[in-house]
Structures are given as C-alpha cells and as structure tokens.
Structure 1
Amino acid sequence: MKLSRVPMPRPGLGKKGQPVPLLTNHFKVSVRNVDDYFYHYSVLLKYEDERPVEGKGIGRKVIDKLHQTYGMDLGNKDFAYDGEKSLFTLGALPQVKNEFTVVLEDVSSSRATGTGSPRGSDSPGESDYKRVRRPYRIKTFKVELNFAAKIPMKSIAIALKGYENENSQEALRVLDIILRQHAAKQGCLLVRQSFFHNNPRNFTDIGGGILGCRGFHSSFRTSQGGLSLNIDVSTTMIVKPGPVVQFLIDNQNVKDPYLLDWTKAKRVLKNLRIMTRHTNQEFKIVGLSEQPCNELRFNFKQRNGRDGNGDSDTIEITVYDYFTKYRNIPLSFSATLPCINVGKPKRPTYVPIELCSLVSLQRYTKALSTFQRSSLVEKSRQKPQERMSVLTEALKFNNYDADPMLQACGVTISTGFTQVDGRVLQPPKLRVGNGEDFMPSRGRWNFNHKKLVEPIEISRWAVVTFSARCDIGSLIRDLIKCSNMKGIVMKEPFDVIEENPSMRRGPPVARVDDMFQQIKKKLPGAPQFLLCLLPERKNSDIYGPWKRKCLAEFGIVTQCIAPTRVNDQYVTNVLLKINAKLGGINSFLNIERSQAIPLVSNTPTIILGMDVSHGSPGQSDIPSIAAVVSSRQWPSISRYRASVRSQSPKHEMIDSLFKPVGDKNDEGIIRELLIDFYTSSGKRKPENIIIFRDGVSESQFVQVLNIELDQIIEACKFLDEQWFPKFTLIIAQKNHHTKFFQPKSPDNVQPGTVIDSKICHPRNYDFYMCSHAGMIGTTRPTHYHVLLDEIEFSADDLQELVHSLSYVYQRSTTAISVVAPICYAHLAASQLSQFVKFDDMAESSSSHGGHRSAGSVPVPELPRLHQNVSSSMFFC
C-alpha cells in the first residue's frame, strides 16, 4: 500500500544575513490546566413542532437561555458554543444525553410574519388588528446535547512538540471557538476568525453604499516558542446602515429613487436585514413587489363600530392607502416605488420602502468595483507603529483574561509583542547592458543611464487606438527616444489606426473585429507588435476580446495602455513589458551567468510557478483558471513561459497537469512545459524540478504533496520511464496574519528580512520572508512552507534562492513580495480569464470538447495560444 507523503521536518536553521531584533504580533499564551479534558457535545435544536431550527443567530440565544435556565442541572459549567452544532465544556456534563425545553421571548423578528403591514391578497391569515396588538412573540425550543468526543488538553502540549494529531487540532479549535463566543457576546459580526465591532470609528466609506469595516483577526498558533495568540487588523465590507432608498441610490450612483434599476436592487437587497420604522422590528428582505405601492392591492378586514369590535367587512385596498389612511403614516415618495417583502415568497408581507432602514454590520459579499477596491486599500493602510498601537488597544479592549471559559482552562495571554530574531540577506547583484553589474539598494533600482541587458529590435509595429485621450504623436516620440536610450532599436510605427467612430457604441467583440479588418487593410503584413490604447484602465471590456484576438487567433504580441499622465518613468515601465514580451531580458542575476547558484547552476533545473485564479465572490458558475509557468533556457532563472487551462469553479487542485489519455492536442500542462525546457536548454532533461505553489491553505498541503505532485511525476514517467528527477516543493502564502515590526523604528522591516525561528512551526520546515521594500502600510511577509526537498538545499541556500527569485521580475525595478514564477502564474491566469466572457464559452463548449473537471459539470475550454506567442512572456 502506497504511503501518503507528509510535509518534511525542518532540517536546520539559516545563518546567513545581518542579525536584526524584531517584534511580531504573536502574544505568548500559557495553559495551566493541561490535565483536563474538553467534552464535545453535538447540539440538536428543534422547534416545539419538531421542525429543525435553520435560522442563523438563533442558536446562540437559545444556548445562552439554556445556560441561564439549567445552569445548576448542568453542573454550573461554562460552555464554548460554535453557534451551530458543536458545544464544548471543560469536564463532562452530568448526563450523557441531555434534553431540555427552552422558552425565548421575541426570539427572531426575521421569522415573524406580523408587522402591521399588509399581507398579499392570497394570504387569508389573521387580521391586521390582532397582529399589531401583539407586543412580542414567544417561541419554545427543544434542545438535545449528545456526547460526541473527549479531547485531552494534553494534546496541545503534543502539538507544541510538532506532532499534531486530530485531538490537538480539535483542542486548538475549541480555544478559537471560545474567542468567537467572546466576540459574539460583545455583539460583533463574526467572519471566520475575524471579529467586527459596531463602532462607526471603524467604518470607512468606499463608495457605492459600501463601508470598509475594520476589525480583528484572532487565532491560536503553535510555534517553536510555544502557544501564541496571533492578533491582526482585519477588514471586511458591510452595507451602509440607514434608509434602504439612500443605500440603493448610492449603490447605483443615481440622483433619485425614480431612476433605480429594480432588477439590480432586488439582487443586492435579498436576505439583508432591515428595521421598520412604524413597528421598530427587524426583518429579513425576501424580495420586492412587482407592482408599485399605490397599485399593490390586498384584502383588508375592516372592523365596524366605534370601538372596532363590531362585524368586519373585507375590502380591497392598496398598500399605499392602507398606510396613509388607516395607519396615518405619511409616505412622501413611496407611491410609485416597489414595496419590500419581509414575509415569505408565497405569503408576502409588504412594507413601503421608505419605512425600511438597513441595520448595521451586514456583510457585503459581492465583487467590488475597481474604484471601491483601490479606495479600500488606500483607506485601510496603516503604518507599522499605528498598527502596533491599534493591536495593543484591541488586546486591552477584548480583555480575554476575564473570559470565564478561558479562566476555567487556565489560559492566560501576554500583552506584549513576541520578540524574534530576524536576519537581513544581502540583495543579489544584477547585470544590465554593456556588461555592467550593480547592487540594488533597499530592494529598488532603476535604468537611468543604463541599457537593458538583452534589448530587442522592433521594426514592424503599429498603434491602434480605441480612445484618443492622449497626444499619440508625442507618446510615439517618447517611446522611440526612451527605447533608444535603453538599447532597444525601435523604428517608426507603420500606422496609427483609430477606431471607426460608428463602432464606439457596439459590443466589444464587434469593435475588436472591426479594428482587425482595418489592420489587415492598412498594414503590409503581420506586425511584430501592436500597441493598443484603451479608453479606461483596469476594467475596459475591450481588453479581453483584444487579447484573445491577438494572442489566440493571430499570434501577435500586444501591449495595452490607457495613459493618464505620460512621463519618463511611465514610458520606461511600458518598454520593460514590451521588451520582455518580445523575448528580450531587462536585467538578470549576476549569479545566473556565472553559474554560481548552488545545486541549480551545475544541474539542469526547471522552476515551476503554479496558481489557480477563481471568479469573484458570488460568481459560483465561472470556471477557475489554472496556470503553471516554467523556466526555460537553463541555466537562466529569469525567462519563463506559461501554460493555462480552465477547470471547475472554485476547484483549487490543478487537474490538468497530466492527461495520459484523451485529447491528442492536450496531454497536460507539465508535458508541454517539460518539452519546452528540453528544446530550449540544449536538449537536456531537468534533473531537478523546483515547484512553487500559491494559493493553498495548510489543510490542502497533503493534497498538493500527493495529488498534484503525483501528476507531475506521472508526466515525467510518460516522457521517459527511466527518468527520475528530484523534486523540491514549496508553498507560498500571502493570506496570513503574521506581521513584523522594528522595535525602535517607525519604518517597515528591511527588504531581505527572513525569520525561521521562534514563531515558525514547531516541526515542519517553514520560514517568513519580507523580500520587498514596504513603502506604504505595513509589510506583509510571504510565508514559505517547504513540503519536500529531495534536492537537499541547505536552509541558507534555499532562502537565498527564494530571495533571488524576487529580483527577476521583468515588469518592475523593485524586488517583489513573492517569487517571480508565482507572480507570473497569477498574471497568466488573470489574463486568460479575460479572454472571453464565459457565457459565450458555454455555447461553444460542446463543439470545442469541453472537459469534465473533478467529476462536475463540463467546463468550457480556453482557446489555446497561437504557436507564435505560446512560449513568450505574453503575461508580462
């Protein structure tokens, strides 16, 4: 039976670099009662009529009431409840099976149907009069607590030695649940392990009716230095509380409610919670009425007699008349607008929209616009010292030492930042044109008075413009002048081709097709390169169809720009991208050509960068895009090419690395890249394969080690059964909450800072690296996990290699925060995901042989790159 691979242990610590003392946002935790046990009980909540409780948020209220009512019967034990189906106690409850009846008053207005507002005409129901008179609702619940497991707290001590098992993970999970419960009792919004208080000081308006809400991440971590609590600043998006109409006006950027798109409004409002002004009750929005308030009718039982106790007549009345005439509630603008349904889809309860206000702390999970995203980043930045003081404040405010459950566990949390030992690695020496070497300073360099190391010649090119917002003649002159200074021979363009004005309002694909018709007419042959001027940056709908046409259909290298301000720096940055895309190299590491990279320069070595790009939040039907880039022309580690495939939405494991049977045109990503390495590296097969994998969590490490690595090994065997390369597999994580600070400096840590002790894993091989210069905000280090190292790098050599790979990114003149192969894989995946609108792809999936991925629905295939550009750095 084949044994599953597991992450390797740490072989040793690095020693290279200038020692530097640092602080980190980990706070030391001590646990006294290690001989105790957590008892896990499964929680079953039902209504009186045996219906299961499904609404979120009710569970905590029910369990709190259970604790108040039956505390004595339950041995006065404190609970740690996850809000759903698991409850933990320290020591056992008196009985193995515990059944209770719990009564809550006014439990959940979102389940209430009576609002004083009319039901739909198909709802017979009780009279409106009775519903108004009832001040609150009483609900009875049945609660069952059934013993599930016993978790020794000693397992935390085992985890601190690096030997994690199911019990140790569960014990740490219980501690994290205690923190969540602590935050829930303070009225926080809980998002996984982050907590957000309802404090306007923490809100920042990012436009469109959306607020960035600052909160805190808290989680227990095991490390070489013992157990610690990692606390960091966290941000989520919430809808702006206040009148629903104002939110919709802001969200759609219109002047008044009569201009609103109600189809969009219905989508964005669904499931949000509101407070109604006339009843001061809270409800969940189910939908909007089809008819406006002054046309929406229902059957109303009207009581006769002065005291309202006489016979009743049923009359048909509009919602508008009911509120204004019978309830005497003035409505100033709702008459012609839809009403909000807070009942059920088939048994609605309608409320005029102006009586409804959104309650606070409601997450907004839809994709942000480019403007909102940049606004959020800009407004949530914090300098290192500011972040430290905010975290210190958070620790005081949370007052974890007062939590009864943590007290019972004997858990105490230090209030001081943990001290760690860092090392600052020397930057690698770079080679530029004319054989000149130079040393970057603080992670940065420039090409002032320098030439590119391998400039290309651009003789056949043209400019196409979908927008004439800049002086094109001046831009061309600046490009040619700057290119000559950098060593690029750039001739005058054949032509400047402007979009036909009649096409400007047409669909993007038609506009691109029309532009190519013009290109064919005006150019003498296929151009080497096209410079494309787009009407807007980042979100132009021309970008995807244009890239697809150039790269997949015609095999033409293209650079898209949307200049707002053209200066020397801008022009140089554009030229760096063009040179790399056309096969040139801007700068490379001195050690590449002097063959001085340990274990890489003297043995044919391929470096892979792997990433999967998913659709935006809420887009569950858009395929994910898997990209792998590979180094070529060994011993270079600065040149790469990419191979990209589509796969099932939100599926993280790459499933097209190797395809032994099936499509003859596609035998998998790895085979394609290995053949390219072989042909570009003097017909040498790589004996070493170094893999950098982005975007996976710790729970997926074993899958990467077994599923993905097995596919890569199979691809190697398929090419040659007698070929056994050595593998080094490294995960890079940016999405974590560890930060580092200089104790006596307001500045960020220096570029090249590496930390592999004290707060790293007690057993596994990991380290943190801040390779870039954090110019704004607080530097986020990359957390590297070495899962496998058959090549047997020393700790110093591997850290030096990772550091060096942050300096070979051809698009910029700064060290980047993660190794270049991963950045390139991310760029390649992003660019090909823009190639097509996926609803168009779905139509062609059957004719193009859409493949099934991970046992799910067929996934439409991406168009393959034209052979003229397939081995280029088109993604640069």
Structure 2
Amino acid sequence: MERESVKNKSILLPMARRGNGSKGKKIHLLTNHFRVNFSQPNNHDFFHYSVAITYEDGSPVEAKGIGRKILEKVQQTYQTDLGFKHFAYDGDKNLFTAGPLPGSNLEFSVVLEDMSSRRNAGKRLRLSHQSKKFNVAISFAAKIPMKAIANALQGKETNHFQDAIRVMDVILCQNAARKGCLLVRQSFFHNDAKYFTNIGEGVDCCKGFHSSFRTTQGGLSLNIDVSTTMIVKPGPVVGFLIGNQGVKDPFSINWKKAKSTLKNLRVKVIPSNQEYKITGLSGLHCKDQMFTWKKKNQNGEVEEVEITVFDYFTKIRDIKLHYSGGLPCINVGKPNRPTYFPIELCELVSLQRYTKALTSFQRSNLVKESRQNPHQRMEVLTRALKNSNYSDDPMLQECGVRIGSDFTQVEGRLLPTPKLKAGNEQDIYPKNGRWNFNNKIVFESATVTRWAVVNFSARCDPRKIVRDLIRCGNMKGINVDPPYKVVFEEDPQFKDAPGSVRVEKMFERLESTLGDVPPNFLLCILEKKNSDVYGPWKKKNLVQVGIVNQCIAPPQNVNDHYLTNVLLKINAKLGGLNSVLDMERSRAMPLVMKVPTIIIGMDVSHGSPGQSDVPSIAAVVSSREWPLISKYRACVRTQSRKVEMIDNLFKPVSDKDDEGIMRELLLDFYSSSAVKPNHIIIFRDGVSESQFNQVLNIELDQMKQKNHHTKFFQTRSPDNVPPGTIIDSNICHQHNNDFYLCAHAGMIGTTRPTHYHVLYDEIGFDTDQLQELVHSLSYVYQRSTTAISLVAPICYAHLAAAQMGTAMKFEDISETSSSHGGITIAGAVSVPPMPKLNTKVASSMFFC
C-alpha cells in the first residue's frame, strides 16, 4: 500500500499488484477491448477551454441539450477564427482541442432558427416562433499533456492522466452527438426504430453501445459493449398513456398519474411540427378550458376574446378534433402563463428516457429482449465498431489515434470448484456452478415451530402448500411442525384497502387467536410479487413485532423444486445452514479460519432517477459464528440521496441512539463467536475507480466495484466461459491489484464477469489465496443452489437494503419535507431515519 503525504497528512493510495495467480487450468479467451495505437509521435497537448453561453440580454442559457446545437453552429460559422480546429464539447461548460485555439479568450454570436419565445403577459394559446441569438464565450482553462496517457502506461507518475482519458471519452461523445444519438454517460443510442423494442405499457427498450477508453497492462484499449436504456414510446400522447396505464380508451386514463408521467417530456405539435416541453395539464377539459385570444379586428386593432381551446382549434384553425373535447389539454407554458394544446395534436418525440421504475411485466420482457449469447454479442459489437467509423473522426485523427478491429486475446484460468458439505457430512460436488439437494439433507437444520400461515391471496390452496411444505421439509432434514392454525385468511372486506390497513387487520386477527404469545415464524402468501402488502408486512414484522417471516407469491403449479427453494430461505432465516464450504469444516484457509476473521460486505443503494426525494440506503453485512464464513447479519441506515460514501460506519460512543455500524457488527461477532476478530476482510460494492481514494481515506479511516462493460468469449466455442474463469493479466489495470472473475454459469445471454479491485491488504494474502477466497464466497449464498456472480456478503447487502427500503414509506417524503421544512444545516433536505430492526430479528438472516 502506497502512502502520499498531503499537507503533513498521510493518505492511502490503492495497492499495487503483488503478482498474478497461478492456480487453475489455462484457457484462451477473447475480450471486447480493441487495441488503441498512436500512429505518430504524440507530443501534442490537449487544451481545455471553459464555455459560457448567454442570451442576447446576457442572461445564462440553462436549458439542457441546446449547447451542442449552439457550439456546432459556432464551428460552422467561425472556422477561420477557430483556426480550422476541431473540438470536443461535453454539452455543458467544457471544450477540448488538440493544440491551442488562436486566442485564449474568444467571443462569438450565432443565431438558431425556430426557437420558441414567449411574449406578452397573461393567459394565451399560441407561441410565436423566431430566430434566437446567442453569445458564446470560450476562454482558456488548462493545458493537458497528451503524453500523460503514455507516461501512465509506462508506470510513470502523472497528475494529468485522468484528465487526458476524460478528453478521449468526450471525443467519443462528440462523435455520437453529431449523429443525433441520445447520450447517457458513455453510452450512445441511435434514433432508429430498428433499435427499439416494445417491452409493454408504453415503454420501449432502446439498444445502443457503450464506448470508453481503458488503460490496461496491454496498453490503451477501447472497450465497446452493448448498452440499453428505457425510452417512452414515441407517437401520440394518448396512445402512450393508454398503454402505460393499461386502459381501454382515453376516457379511462388516470389524469393525476398521467400528469406526473408526462411532466418534462417533449412533444411535437401537429400541424406546425414545433417541439415543446410538457409542463402540466389543464385543469378543465378542452371544451371547457378558456383562454384569452388576442385577435385583430377589421381596423387592425388588437382585441381580447375569451374562447375555449376546443373552439379555437376547430372553428378558428379549422382543425378537426375527434375526442379531445372531453380530455385535458397539454400545457407547455408556465404555471402562471399556460399555453394549451389539444392532446390529440401532441406526439411524443423519440429518444426520451423513461425514468420511472419498471413493472414486473416490463422487467420480464426486458430480460427476454436483452438476451444475447456470446456469439451474437460478438457480431453486434463488431458491427458497432465498424458503424462508429472512429477512423474518420477528425478529432481522433488530430490526436493520431488508430483503433484496431480485432477483439483482444487474453489468457484466463479455470479455478478448482470448491467442495461443499451437506448434512451428515455428505459431500456436494458442484457441476458447472450448480448443485442440488437430491437425496441430501441440509447441513444444519432449524426447527420451524410455533408458526402460522396468513393468506392474502384468493387464487391458491394454502392448505395444500402447508402439507407439501411439511413433507418437503422432512425430506430435506428441516423439522417443520404443523402450524398453530392451518391458515389465517384475510377478511374479504379489506381486499381493496391500502396495504398497511390490510396488514394491521391481519395482525388483529392473529392476536385475537394467538393471544400474547407471538409466533416464532410467519409464512405470508401474497397474490402477486409486487403486492402493496409486502412493504407494510415487512415493516410490521421486522421493525415493530420482531417475527421472522417468509413471503411467497406461489405459481399455479407448486412443485417440490419451488418448495425446496422456499425451505432453503426459511432455514437460513431461522438460523440454519443449508450447505457450507468443505474448507470451513477443515479450516483449510489459515488466514481466515485459523485466525479470528470477520468478513464484511458493504453497499449503498439509490432510488431510481425518477425518485428525486428518496434517500439512499447503506447496508453492511458481516459474518458471525466464526470460523464459519456462511452466516451473516446486517445493519442498514439511510443517508443523503445519491451519496455513495457510507457516513454511519463510526460514531462516538456518546451517541446513544447510534454508535455506528462497525461497532454494532464487531460486538455481534464477539457475542456470536466468543472471540474478537484479528482480521477484517471488507468487500465494497458500488464505487467507481475515481472514488477508490475516498473509500480508503474516508470509509477505511472510520472503521470494489462499479458496473463495467468488459465481457469474455471462448475462442473455440460459442458457449459462455465456464464457471470459475479468472483473468488477472493483459486487460487488467496497468498497476493496481485487480482481476475479473466469472464464478457463475451464464445460463442466459452473455456472462457478466465481476471486476474486483484489491485496495488495501495488511493481512498479507498471496494472489492465489485471495482469489480462492473470493471464488469460494460465491458458493456460500444460502438462497440458492448455484454459484453466484458476486461474493455472498455483497449480495446479502443488496438484499438487506432492498428489503428495509420497502419498510419505509418513501412516497410520503416529499410532502413531509415541504410541509415541515425538511431542511438541515447547509440547506440539505433532511433524511428520515431508517426504522431500527427489532432485537428479536436483528441478528437473523432476515434478508435471505
């Protein structure tokens, strides 16, 4: 681990590689990295300029998306003043060139046609369209040596390396923007219907491509991968709303929901074909909504006439309207200056991102549409590279960059598959990352006793489920006693009540029958997976009363395979173990199993883009009952929205309400293991490479991995790479300690490897030991009988965050914040605290 002194304070830097691993059979692979070469000696510098765009009156231009059009016009109009330089513009305030512009401070004026302008006060209908003049100021900000990339690849220290790579990525974005693509970070989506696939309910899956430059041991490479984003289905607004809400006709649309869905989307209005942004809906129907029409009389004088929107379009504009009269109008004006159009004249324009949470139906269709086997993906990526035509990009040509057309060859290794133990010391030998419990029993059985069944579903036979659950449990060595009462059925009169009411009424029924002795376990049968009962049910059980519970939404045909999976979850939640690693029994990994070691998984989950007021949730899980590394417990906290660093790891002991996550987990390890940990191994998910230093110097001071786009393909087989494939050379980081692992079997589509970065190691693992531990931790996930793609502690942290998230009523946060101020120091919106887990379930694997 390197240390760097800044103002007398020693800060940690990510550790360097200690050498590559050697265990496992070698396997030759290809990866979606394409070699980047500089075709000429590269002594040029990138020049960074700040861009300020203002209207003619000097006010700043804040509208998103318009900057690229303005700068493109500048390039077309002022080639001589720009020294015939090409530039890469990030769409905001940054512009980059290869070599300097003629001056350090340049000012230009350009005119864009057909810009919407709103004139005159008061309520009105029409917008006047005219040319709009913009002033553009370009001023020198910094010089970025292009040589920084070459220096970094050679192992030389450089302060400008990340800046230079950023410039290269901006060049890719500029290339895509010129082609009219939708840009989502480094992913690009073409405005072409052949890339759109309907996934239902008014939403299309738009397929595009991710392109970014990566520095690796083999040099600079361009990483290209398939990418997807969700867009609203282009076309008539009414058609979109009917599909989105699943109704039969326009008159069945829920307009309150529609208003929220449509806000800020762009529409093209017929017959003018002008585009506007939706700001809301009219309060009255089109035939009743009045506005003041300013018309000229015979004398040429302007007079104000009150008229309905419907009459104006049908009588004055002579446009036939079929059904708009009984529907609200689209408002594209401001709240105090509305501008209305009949809804049937409005069409949603293409390539608008859909940021709401997807329904289970949409998610299911998305999975189907996103499937590409390795061979298909390679063909698609080859075409994508060819169509991008980077070889003709003027900026890349000025930089002397040439991109190869061949997938990079890499050498991987197949790690030995860990052996597992079931009950009665029976051996389990996973094959292709999978195993089963046929003719086997669980390693450590919990007893399902003093339990009850509650039924919120009318479409299944709960009594049969109970009988079969008991029978299957006995077969797998799980002791399942008969429940208190076969089933507690929901009172039909509450079927349509809010979820929280239904849960309270069910608990009243339970308490009236069971008295003051609560059950140890509750099986809850739901009518569907996304039932509105689920969140309130989890909050009631995990926070208020402290009862371990399992929710199921059984399929039509409940078979033994389904019931076995349910039993595995129940057994783990109640303290049992379904299987363990053989090395746990033999203590075959001395640094972990012969020295008291706690294993921790950390993650922060964020609300979807459309949920602006939802706080982020930090979840940390830790191993317990050492020397086991298969049992865990969780701590969950809320924190400010979109904050990735966990801010509750450590708090002074004087804080009686919350002494910090690490203290809570360390105390649990001591109480469950009777020893204090000598070693702490932390797996941290959800941070990018640029945040590694924060993890090391903020989170580590108090007590990896972000989505990537690297894929691997077999050279002589169309199948996915086998489970256990590890790569730690060639395309890995040129200095830092990282590796890619495909621990699981990719049954559908193309296997996504997990990218691990080793940031800090005081224990002293050699490379093979650490890689074996990571691989093994993909086999201790108690919910399934398959190896998983990511170590179990991280997956458990995901589950804990998701489950506790459902226990909070996030939908009321906006109203609460606005009505009670909701403001803390520095003007940040206050974050509602996470409800504390009841002590009766706090140490259980409730998330399993």
TM-score, normalised to structure 1, is: 0.92
2:549 matched to 1:541? no
- In structure 1, what residue type is equivalent to 2:233? K
1:40 equivalenced with 2:48 (yes/no): yes
1:475 matched to 2:490: no
**Aligned position for 2:656:** 664
Residues 120, 348 of structure 1: 8 Å contact kept: no
- Structure 2 Cα separation of the partners of residues 33 and 112 of structure 1: 50
Q: State the distance in 1 between where 2:107 and 2:121 align.
A: 39
Name the CA distance, whole Å, in 2 between partners of 1:487 and 1:8. Answer: 46
Aligned residues: 833
Query: Are residues 1:338 and 2:328 paired?
Result: yes
| Aligned-partner residue type, residue 375 of structure 1 | N
Pairs within 5 Å for 1:235-384: 235-304=228-297, 313-384=303-374
Alpha-carbon distance between aligned partners in 1 of 2:356 and 2:132, rounded to the nearest angstrom: 34
Q: 1:121 touches 1:297 (CA, 8 Å); kept in 2?
A: no
Corresponding residue for 2:801?
Answer: 829
Q: Percent identity?
A: 64
**Superimposed CA distance per residue, residues 82-107 of structure 1 (whole angstroms, 9 cap, x where no aligned partner):** 1221111111112221122223333x
The answer (yes or no) to whether the contact 1:120–1:298 under 8 Å persists in 2 is no
For the structure 1 residues 458 and 302, does the alpha-carbon distance in structure 2 shift closer, same or farther, using more than 3 Å as the test?
closer
Taking the aligned partners of 1:387 and 1:853, their CA distance within structure 2 comes to: 50
**Any gaps of 5 or more consecutive residues in structure 2?**
1-7
C-alpha distance in structure 1 between counterparts of 2:145 and 2:251, whole Å = 62
Q: 1:311 Cα deviation (Å)?
A: 5.3
What residue is the counterpart of 1:654 in the other structure?
Answer: 646
Check conservation: 1:120, 1:349, Cα contact below 8 A: no
- Report the aligned-residue RMSD: 2.2
Q: For residue 622 of structure 2, what is the amino acid of its counterpart?
A: S
> Residues 283 and 13 from structure 1, CA distance in 2 versus in 1: closer, same or farther, beyond 3 angstroms?
same
Equivalent residue, structure 2, for 1:20: 27
Secondary structure of the 2:592 match is coil
> What is the deviation of 1:63?
1.8
Letter in 2 for 1:520: E
Q: Distance in 1 between matches of 2:417 and 2:697?
A: 35
Give 1:741 deviation, angstroms: 0.7
Distance in 2 separating the partners of 1:677 and 1:41: 54
**Aligned-pair CA distance for 1:613:** 2.0
**Partner residue in 2 for 1:520:** 511
CA drift of 1:222 comes to 0.4
Check the 8 A contact 2:28/2:715 in 1, yes or no. Answer: yes
Amino acid at match of 1:344: K
Query: Residue 62 of structure 1: CA displacement?
Result: 2.0
Native 8 Å contact 2:688 2:705 kept in 1: no
Q: CA offsets per residue over residues 292-312 of structure 1, 9 Å max, x none?
A: 22222233344455xxx7555
Residue number in structure 2 paired with 1:208 = 201
Native 8 Å contact 1:608 1:692 kept in 2: yes
Match 2:403 to one of 408, 413, 432 = 413
> 1:490-501 counterparts in 2 under 5 A?
490-495=480-485, 496-501=487-492
Please give the per-residue CA displacement for 1:61-83, whole angstroms capped at 9, x wherever unaligned: 22222222221232211111112
Q: Which residue of 2 aligns with 1:718?
A: none
- 1:553 partnered with 2:544: yes
Q: Once the 2 structures are TM-superposed, how far is the Cα of residue 615 of structure 1 from its aligned partner?
A: 2.0
Query: Which residue of structure 2 aligns with residue 739 of structure 1?
Result: 711
Question: What SS does structure 1 have at the residue aligned with 2:759?
Answer: strand
Whether 1:811 aligns to 2:783 is: yes
TM superposition score normalised by structure 2: 0.95
Note if 1:385 corresponds to 2:375: yes
Following superposition, the deviation at residue 635 of structure 1 comes to: 0.9
Partners of 1:299 and 1:643 in 2: CA distance: 59
Distance across 2 between alignment mates of 1:809 and 1:756: 24
Between 310-319 and 409-418, the greater mean CA deviation after superposition: 310-319
3-state SS of paired residue (1:768)? strand
- Counterpart among 58, 64, 76 of residue 68 in structure 1: 76
SS at match of 1:812: coil
Question: After superposition, what is the alpha-carbon deviation per residue over 1:230-274, rounded to whole angstroms, capped at 9, x for unaligned?
Answer: 000000111111111111111122211122222222222222111
In terms of mean alpha carbon deviation, does 76-85 or 211-220 score higher?
76-85
Equivalent residue number for residue 154 of structure 2: 161
- Answer with 153-162 or 19-28: which moved more: 153-162
Whole-angstrom CA distance in 1 between matches of 2:164 and 2:284? 54
Q: Please report how far the alpha carbon of residue 47 of structure 1 lies from its aligned counterpart in structure 2 after TM superposition.
A: 2.0
What amino acid sits opposite 1:61 in the alignment? K
* Partner amino acid, structure 1, of 2:26: P
Distance between the aligned counterparts of 2:827 and 2:19, measured in 1? 42
Alignment of 1:690-839 (within 5 A): 690-712=681-703, 731-733=704-706, 735-838=707-810
Return closer, same or farther for 1:852/1:624 CA change in 2, 3 Å cut-off.
farther
Between stretches 670-679 and 818-827, larger displacement belongs to: 670-679
CA-to-partner distance for each residue in 1:749-779, whole Å, 9 max, x for gaps?
A: 1000000101110001100000000000111
Checking the alignment, whether the CA contact within 8 Å between 1:655 and 1:854 is kept in structure 2 is no
After the TM superposition, which of the residue ranges 38-47 and 412-421 deviates more from structure 2? 38-47
Supply the distance in 2 between the matched residues of 1:852 and 1:809 (Cα, whole angstroms). Answer: 40
The question of whether the paired residues in 1 share the 8 Å contact of 2:634 and 2:845 is answered with: yes
Distance 1:600 1:490 in 2: 34
Which residue number in structure 2 is paired with residue 96 of structure 1?
104
Distance of aligned partners of 1:112 and 1:479 in 2 relative to their CA distance in 1, 3 Å threshold? same
Q: What is the one-letter code of the residue matched to 1:764?
A: N
Q: Which residue of 2 is the match for residue 725 of structure 1?
A: none
> Take 2:178 and 2:812, find their aligned partners in 1: how far apart are those partners?
48
* Partner Cα separation in structure 1 for residue 684 and residue 465 of structure 2: 39
Q: Using the alignment, how far apart are the partners of 1:60 and 1:347 within structure 2?
A: 28
Distance 2:452 2:334 in 1: 60
Q: Whole-Å Cα distance in 1 between the matches of residues 512 and 131 of structure 2?
A: 78
Distance in 1 separating the partners of 2:790 and 2:608: 22
- Given the superposition, is the C-alpha separation of residues 332 and 602 from structure 1 closer, same or farther in structure 2, using an over 3 Å criterion? same
Matching residue of 1:137 = 130
Cα gap change, 1:851 to 1:859, in 2 (>3 Å): farther
CA deviation map 1:315-352 (0-9, x unaligned): 32222222112221111111122222233333333221
